[in-house]
A = this chain, B = another copy of it.
Amino acid sequence: MDLSEFTITVLYIVGISAEGMTGALAAGRHKMDLFGVIFIALVTAIGGGSIRDVVLGHYPLTWVKHPEYVLLICFCALVATRIPKVVTRLEHLFLTLDAIGLVVFSILGAQVAMKLDYGFIIAVSAAVITGVFGGILRDILCMRIPLVFQKEIYAGVAIIAGAIYYISAIWLEIHILICTLVTLFIGVLMRLLAIKFQWSLPIFSYNEKG
C-alpha cells in the first residue's frame, strides 16, 4: 500500500464512520428501533459504493471483502445513539467529515471505473454514484425526497471531484498522490464554501396548472 492508497484508506474509514453516525441520527428522527438505526447507518455509509460496484460488475463489494467495515459502522451507529446531542453540537465537525467522505467516495468511484478501463463519463458517473447514492437510499428509507436533489451543490462536488481526479490522473498523467491531494483540497473546499454561502443549483419548479 503506497502513500496515496494509505491516505485514501484512512480518509475512507473516517468518512464511513461519519456517514454512519449521521445516518443513525437520521433514523432516530423517524423513531426506528436499533436494527433500523444500524441498517440505515450501513446503507448511508456503504450503499453508494455497493451500487457502484453492482452497476459496474466490480466484485466482491468493498464491505464483502472487508467485513470489518460493517462492524465499524455498526459501532459508530450505536455510539451516535448514545451521544446524539454531542453529534449535533459538533455539527461543523461532522459537516467537514462528511465533505471529506464525499470527496473520498468520489475519488474511489473514479478509481474503480479507471481500473476497469472506462472513460471520462463513466468515471464521473461512478464518482457521483459512490458519493451521493448512500444519502439517496437513506432518504428513501426514511420516506423523504432525497436531500441531494434539493440542497447545496452536493452532487456537483462529486462530479467535479471525479472530473479533476480523472483528468489529472489519465490526461495529465500527474502522480496519483498529487491527483488525490489536489482533488481532496478542491472538493472539500468547494463543499464547505457551498455550505457557508448556501450555493445551490437553480431549482426547477414546474406545475402544469400554473
How many Å from the CB of A101 to the closest CB on chain B? 18
Instruction: Tell whether, in the assembled complex, residue B70 and residue A37 are in contact, meaning their CB atoms are under 8 Å apart.
Output: no
Q: List, in ascending order, chain B residues with CB within 8 A of A148's CB.
A: 35-36
How many Å from the CB of A202 to the closest CB on chain B? 6
From B61, B119, B200, A55 is in contact (CB under 8 Å) with: B61
Instruction: Tell whether, in the assembled complex, residue A144 and residue B146 are in contact, meaning their CB atoms are under 8 Å apart.
Output: no
Is A31 on the interface with B (CB-CB < 8 A)?
yes
How many angstroms from the CA of A34 to the CA of B155 in the assembled complex?
Answer: 10
Bitwise, A144-184 to B at CB < 8 A (1) or not (0) is: 11101111011110000000000000000000000000000
Instruction: Tell whether, in the assembled complex, residue B61 and residue A60 are in contact, meaning their CB atoms are under 8 Å apart.
Output: no
How many Å from the CB of A106 to the closest CB on chain B? 14
Most B CB within 10 A of own CB, among A31, A85, A150, A204: A204
Residue of B at shortest CB range from A200?
B33
Q: List, in ascending order, chain B residues with CB within 8 A of A185's CB.
A: none
Q: List, in ascending order, chain B residues with CB within 8 A of A155's CB.
A: 35, 39
Classify the interface of chain A: helix, strand, loop or mixed.
helix
Most B CB within 10 A of own CB, among A60, A67, A149: A149
Contact-residue size bin, chain A (C-beta under 8 Å from the other chain): 35 or more
Residue of B at shortest CB range from A147?
B36
A-B interface, 3 closest residue pairs, ranked by CB to CB distance from nearest: A36-B149, A28-B206, A67-B121
24 cross-chain CB contacts under 8 A: A27-B149, A28-B205, A28-B206, A29-B206, A31-B150, A31-B205, A32-B145, A32-B149, A32-B150, A33-B202, A33-B203, A34-B201, A34-B202, A35-B153, A35-B156, A36-B146, A36-B150, A37-B204, A50-B55, A64-B122, A67-B118, A67-B122, A136-B141, A140-B140
Q: Given A33-B149, A39-B149, A85-B208, list of 18 further CB < 8 A pairs?
A: A25-B206, A27-B204, A28-B206, A29-B207, A31-B150, A33-B200, A34-B202, A34-B204, A35-B153, A35-B156, A54-B55, A55-B64, A56-B59, A57-B59, A57-B60, A70-B121, A81-B206, A88-B208
